[in-house]
Amino acid sequence: MSDTEKRDRGLLRVGVDECKGCGLCMDACPPKVIGMSERLNHYGYRTATYAGKGCTGCGICFMVCPEPGALTVYKLAKVPMVAAGTGVTGVS
């Protein structure tokens, strides 16, 4: 894996029933992986949407969001790599 092809360190889930489309999460996101959906939720708001990759799991979007339950950030655990045939593990 090259340096330009980094693994995601986090995952973002947007609760479209809770999001009011204020855009605070989009502005606060350091890797800029949050945008606004073209579709409307059942309240008539354009909601936040995750690009699907690039999340660092920092949680800044969660902290700035005024709506409880609108955003959930998961920090992905590091998976140990096993060297082929050796049984020796290391952290990637």
Backbone angles phi, psi at 83, to 5 degrees: -70, 130
Q: How far apart are CA 36 and CA 3, in angstroms?
A: 28
Query: DSSP code of 13?
Result: E
pLDDT in tens, 1-57: 444 456 788 999 999 999 999 999 999 999 999 999 999 999 999 999 999 899 999
CATH hierarchy code of domain 10-91: 3.30.70.20
Q: Which residue has the higher pLDDT, 51 or 82?
A: 51
List the domain boundaries for the chain: 10-91
Question: Nearest Cα to 11, choosing from 47, 46, 67, 62?
Answer: 62
Confidence of residue 87 (pLDDT cuts 50, 70, 90): low
Question: In this structure, which amino acid lies at residue 36?
Answer: M
